[in-house]
Chains A and B, each alone.
Chain A
Amino acid sequence: MNARQVASLSRRHLLKIACALAPAAIGLRLFAPPPDVVEARVRSTSTGPTPGSSPAATPLGGSAGPVAWAFGVNASACIGCGHCVEACKLENHVAPEPKYNRTWVERHVVADDGRVFVDSPDAGIHGFPPESTAPGAAGVNVATSQFVARLCMQCDNPPCVSVCPVSATYRTPEGIVLVDQSRCIGCGYCVVACPYGARYLTPAGEASPTGNPGVADKCTWCYHRISRGQEPACVEVCPVDARVFGDLNDPASPIQAIVSAPGVALLRPELGTRPKVFYVGLEREVS
C-alpha cells in the first residue's frame, strides 16, 4: 500500500469513527435519567402544587404554564439590614464564611464627582457601616446611595445549564435552575459562565454542612419552600418588603406590582439570558 492509499485509509477511518460516535452519544443520552426524574424525586417529598407542562417563555421572562415564578427587588425600599442574607444561610445551610453566599446585598454609592463605589462587607449579613468600605471611598461626598439585593436570576436561557458537561445543572418545569450535587464534578464551569456571579463551589470539611464539598451551589429561590406554597426565606424575613416573590400568571400576586412599575429593569439584558428577577428603583445601571 502506498502513501496515497494510506492517506485515504485514514480518512475512511476518521469518517467511520465520527459516524460511530454520533449515534453512540445519542443512544447513551437515552439511558441518562432526565432532570425531570430528579425533580420529581425532590417533589415527592413536598406538598406543593403540581407544575404544568414545560413552560414557554413570555416577554416578561415568565412562562405560559400554570406557574410562572418571578422575583422582584425594590431597591428604593431596601435598608441593607442583612436579614435576608442571614435567613438564607440558615435556611439553606450555606457555609458561614463570608465568601460563600446564595444571596447578598450590595451598596452602590455615587460620589458627587460621578465616581461609583460598590461594597458588600461580609455580603451585607451584618448590615453596613455608615461609610462605604470600597477602596477609595473614604471621605468622598456622596451624591446618592442605595442597597441592591442580589440572587440567582433563574434565567430562562441560563448559561450555567448549557455549559454543564454532565447535566448536573438543570431547569425544573417551573423554570427554577437547580444543581444535582450528586452528579456535579466540581469543574467550576458554571461558576465561570454565570454572568451574575450567583454560583460558587461549596467548601470542604466542616464548613460544608450539606456534606457535598467542592460542588456547585446557588440560590434556588428556596425551591423546597416555594414548592409547598411558601415564600423564599429572604422574602419572608424582609422587614420592608424590598424582596417580592410571586406568580406572573396570578393577577393577584404581589409580583404584578413590581413588573408593572415604571422603570422596571433586568440586569444585563443584553446577554440574552432572560433573567426573572425584576428590579425597580435602581438609580444607576447595575451589572
Chain B
Amino acid sequence: MIIRIAGRSVPLDRRHALGAVELARAAVRAEVASQSKRLRWGFAALTAVIGLGAIAAAFKVPAGSEVMGTTPAVEWGLLIATYVFLVVTTSGLCLVNSLGMVFGIDRFKPLEMRHVFLAVLFLLAGFGVIALELQYPLRLVFGVVMSPSPGSPMWWMGVVYAIYLGVLLFELVTNMSNHRRLAHAACVISSGWAVVAPVTLGMVFASLVSRPFWQGSFVPLYLVITAMLSGASVLGIVFTLVQRLRLPGHGPDAAGVVVGIRGLLVILLSLVTAYTVLRTVAALTIGSELDREAVSAMLVGPLGPQSWLLRGVVGLVVPLIVLLWPTRRRGLAVFAASWLIMIGVFVDRLSFVTAGQIAPWGAASGIVSGEYASYFPSLAELAIVAGSIAVVALIYVIAERFLDLSSPGGSGDVHGIRASGAQAMLRRRILGIGPGVRPDVGGAAVDTLAVATPVLFPPAPIAPGEGARR
C-alpha cells in the first residue's frame, strides 16, 4: 500500500505498520515533552475527566437506566439535556459563521475554519452522548433506515442530523483542502441546515400533546435563538484565546471577530431575556394547568434555584452587564460573558427538559409523585457529561496545536514559535528529513510543517518570511 504524505509517496507494508505503533508512541512522548507545564497539567486534567466519563460509560452500557437518576416519571434527564445543548450549539456555530460567509459581514469571515471544526466536534460529542443515553443505539441507526417512521419527529431528527454531519464533514474537508467554491457551497447548505436541525429537534418536544410546557410552535424558534447564543459564546471564548495566546490568525481580524461577537451576544441576550419573560407571563396567565405548574416549578419550585441563579443571573443578567459595561478590556469581557452564557444555556437546557416532566399529571408506572416529580442526576450521568465536554476541549486543543485553523487550506505553519517536537520527530521518521530545528526561534522549535494536515492534504507553499512573522 502506498500512502501520500506531504506530497510524497510512501510505501507502507506490514513492517511499516508495526513500526507505526512505535511511531505513534514516540509521537505522543515527543508531543508531551514539547508542552509547557501549564498545558501539560491541562491535558492531564482533561484526560482524567475523560477517563472518569469512560468509566461511567462502561458502567452505563450494560446496566442501562439502573445507573441513571431517571425514573418512569422523569424519563429524560441530564444526558438528553446535554445532547440538546451540544447539537444545538453546533447549529449556533454555523449560524454565527453564516453572518460572514453567507450574509457577507466581513467581521465574521475569519470564523470559517474554526467554526466548522468546532461544529463537527460538538455534533459528534452530541451523538456520543445520545448513543450512551439510548440502550440500543445501533438499532436506531439501522431502524431509521430499515423501518422508517416519518410520522415521528424523532425519526426526522435522526435523518436531519445524519445529513447535517455529512454536510459539516464535507465543509471541513473542502475547507482544509482549500476547495473554495465547494467549501462555500457546503457552508451555505450547512447554514440553512443549521436552522432546520434545531427546528426538527424542537419538534421532538413541541409535538407532545401530553406535555404542555414543551408544546408549542415557539419552542423550535427558541432553540434557534439560543443556538446562536451558545454558538456565539463558544466562538467568543475561542477567539479571545486566539488573540490572547497569539494563535494562528490572531491580529486585527480576530479582534474584529471578538467585537462582532460582543454585539451579537448583547442582541441575543436581549432577545432571550424578552422571550423568557413573555413565556413566563403567558404561562402564568393564559397557560394550561400543567404549563403553569411547570413554570411555577422553575420560579418557586424545585427548579427555582437553578433557574433564578444559574439561568437568570449567571446566564443572562450578569453577562449582559459585563458586555455593556464600558471597559477597554473588551476581550476579557467577552471571554467572561461567554463562559457565563454557556453555563446559563446549559442549565436552561436541563431546566427545559426536566420542567416538561416534573409537573406530574398523575402517576407514572405506579409511581405517584407529590407536588413535583423528583429527579437528581446520578454520578454516572454527571461523569458522562463532563467526559463528553472534556473530549471536545481536548481534541480542539490538540487540533489547535497540529492544524492551522486560522484560514481554509492552512498555511502549513501550525503554531508559530510553539512548534511541536512531535512534528519534528514524525517528519524525521516518516519523511526522512533532517531535524528541522529553526535556529531563529530557539532550540526547542522546529520547522512547523503540520503532520496531520499534509497526510490528507498537500500543504500550500509557505511564503518567504511567513514563518518568521508568526
Q: How far is the CA of A225 from the CA of B457 in the complex (A)?
A: 65
Q: How far is the CA of A184 from the CA of B157 in the complex (A)?
A: 17
Asked if residues B140 and A187 are in contact (CB atoms below 8 Å), the reply is: yes
Known contacts A13-B189, A191-B75; is-contact A272 B209 (Cβ 8 Å): yes
Which of A9, A205, A268, A271 sits near B185, CB closer than 8 Å?
A: A9
Least CB separation from B361: chain A residue: A287
Q: How far is the CA of A189 from the CA of B201 in the complex (A)?
A: 13
Q: How far is the CA of A233 from the CA of B185 in the complex (A)?
A: 62
When each residue 350-364 of chain B gets 1 if its CB lies under 8 Å from chain A and 0 otherwise, what string results? 000000010001111
Min CB distance B210 to A, Å, is: 3
Asked if residues A200 and B210 are in contact (CB atoms below 8 Å), the reply is: no
Task: Give chain A residues whose Cβ lies under 8 Å from the Cβ of B76.
Answer: 188, 192
Task: Give chain B residues whose Cβ lies under 8 Å from the Cβ of A189.
Answer: 152, 154, 204
Asked if residues A166 and B368 are in contact (CB atoms below 8 Å), the reply is: no
Least CB separation from B77: chain A residue: A188
Asked if residues B159 and A192 are in contact (CB atoms below 8 Å), the reply is: no
Known contacts A120-B366, A214-B136, A287-B362; is-contact A201 B148 (Cβ 8 Å): no
When each residue 59-84 of chain A gets 1 if its CB lies under 8 Å from chain B and 0 otherwise, what string results? 00000000000000000000000000
Least CB separation from B151: chain A residue: A162
Most buried by A among B153, B362, B371: B362
Task: Give chain B residues whose Cβ lies under 8 Å from the Cβ of A10.
Answer: 184-186, 188-189
Least CB separation from A187: chain B residue: B134
Supply 30 A–B pairs (Cβ within 8 Å), ascending by A: A6-B181, A6-B188, A14-B189, A28-B145, A28-B148, A32-B146, A104-B363, A118-B368, A159-B208, A163-B208, A165-B140, A165-B154, A165-B158, A166-B139, A166-B149, A166-B155, A168-B147, A183-B143, A192-B210, A193-B208, A197-B73, A197-B363, A201-B135, A203-B65, A204-B63, A204-B65, A205-B66, A215-B136, A268-B361, A287-B362
Chain A residues near B (Cβ < 8 Å): 1, 3, 6-7, 9-11, 13-14, 17, 21, 25, 28-29, 31-33, 85, 98-101, 104, 106, 118-120, 122-124, 134-135, 150, 159, 162-168, 183-189, 191-201, 203-205, 207, 213-215, 268, 271-273, 286-287
Task: Give chain B residues whose Cβ lies under 8 Å from the Cβ of A187.
Answer: 133-134, 140, 154
Q: At the interface, yes or no: B461 with Cβ under 8 Å from chain A?
A: no
When each residue 91-133 of chain B gets 1 if its CB lies under 8 Å from chain A and 0 otherwise, what string results? 0000000000010000000000000000000000000000001
Known contacts A9-B185, A186-B136; is-contact A101 B361 (Cβ 8 Å): no
Known contacts A214-B65, A272-B209; is-contact A17 B163 (Cβ 8 Å): yes
Q: How far is the CA of A159 from the CA of B143 in the complex (A)?
A: 19
Q: How far is the CA of A123 from the CA of B366 in the complex (A)?
A: 5
Task: Give chain A residues whose Cβ lies under 8 Å from the Cβ of B186.
Answer: 10
Task: Give chain B residues whose Cβ lies under 8 Å from the Cβ of A9.
Answer: 181, 185
When each residue 26-65 of chain B gets 1 if its CB lies under 8 Å from chain A and 0 otherwise, what string results? 0000000000000000000000000000000000001111
Least CB separation from A163: chain B residue: B152
Min CB distance A86 to B, Å, is: 12
Q: How far is the CA of A120 from the CA of B370 in the complex (A)?
A: 11
Min CB distance B83 to A, Å, is: 11
Which of A11, A150, A168, A201 sits near B65, CB closer than 8 Å?
A: A201
Nearest 5 Cβ contacts at the A-B interface: A186-B135, A214-B135, A166-B143, A123-B366, A197-B364
Q: At the interface, yes or no: B150 with Cβ under 8 Å from chain A?
A: yes
Known contacts A14-B192, A167-B147, A186-B135; is-contact A119 B368 (Cβ 8 Å): yes
Least CB separation from A272: chain B residue: B209
Task: Give chain A residues whose Cβ lies under 8 Å from the Cβ of B147.
Answer: 29, 32-33, 166-168, 183
* Beyond known contacts A187-B133, A188-B75: 10 more, CB 8 A cutoff: A6-B185, A7-B102, A21-B163, A32-B147, A100-B366, A120-B366, A163-B152, A186-B136, A197-B364, A200-B364
Least CB separation from B211: chain A residue: A192
Asked if residues B367 and A99 are in contact (CB atoms below 8 Å), the reply is: yes
Asked if residues A166 and B64 are in contact (CB atoms below 8 Å), the reply is: no
Least CB separation from A120: chain B residue: B368
Asked if residues A106 and B63 are in contact (CB atoms below 8 Å), the reply is: no
Task: Give chain B residues whose Cβ lies under 8 Å from the Cβ of A135.
Answer: 370-371
Asked if residues A192 and B357 are in contact (CB atoms below 8 Å), the reply is: yes
Which of B64, B71, B152, B208 sits near A165, CB closer than 8 Å?
A: B152
Min CB distance A106 to B, Å, is: 6
Which of B150, B208, B365 sits near A101, CB closer than 8 Å?
A: B365
Asked if residues A100 and B365 are in contact (CB atoms below 8 Å), the reply is: yes
Interface residues of B in 202-232 (CB under 8 A from A): 204, 207-211
When each residue 161-194 of chain B gets 1 if its CB lies under 8 Å from chain A and 0 otherwise, what string results? 0010000000000000000010011101100100
Task: Give chain A residues whose Cβ lies under 8 Å from the Cβ of B185.
Answer: 6, 9-10, 13
Which of B135, B150, B204 sits near A25, CB closer than 8 Å?
A: B150
Asked if residues B135 and A215 are in contact (CB atoms below 8 Å), the reply is: yes
Least CB separation from B187: chain A residue: A10
Q: How far is the CA of A193 from the CA of B70 in the complex (A)?
A: 15
Most buried by A among B149, B154, B361: B149
Which of A134, A183, A188 sits near B139, CB closer than 8 Å?
A: A183
Asked if residues A104 and B365 are in contact (CB atoms below 8 Å), the reply is: yes
Known contacts A187-B154, A189-B204; is-contact A29 B148 (Cβ 8 Å): yes
Q: At the interface, yes or no: B437 with Cβ under 8 Å from chain A?
A: no
Which of A21, A106, A268 sits near B363, CB closer than 8 Å?
A: A106
Task: Give chain B residues whose Cβ lies under 8 Å from the Cβ of A118.
Answer: 362-363, 368
Task: Give chain B residues whose Cβ lies under 8 Å from the Cβ of A162.
Answer: 151-152
Min CB distance B43 to A, Å, is: 35
Least CB separation from B360: chain A residue: A197
Q: How far is the CA of A215 from the CA of B64 in the complex (A)?
A: 10
Asked if residues B365 and A199 are in contact (CB atoms below 8 Å), the reply is: yes
Asked if residues A101 and B366 are in contact (CB atoms below 8 Å), the reply is: yes
Min CB distance A115 to B, Å, is: 12
Asked if residues B150 and A192 are in contact (CB atoms below 8 Å), the reply is: no
Q: At the interface, yes or no: B442 with Cβ under 8 Å from chain A?
A: no
Q: How far is the CA of A193 from the CA of B185 in the complex (A)?
A: 39
Task: Give chain B residues whose Cβ lies under 8 Å from the Cβ of A203.
Answer: 64-66
Min CB distance B144 to A, Å, is: 6
Asked if residues B72 and A197 are in contact (CB atoms below 8 Å), the reply is: yes
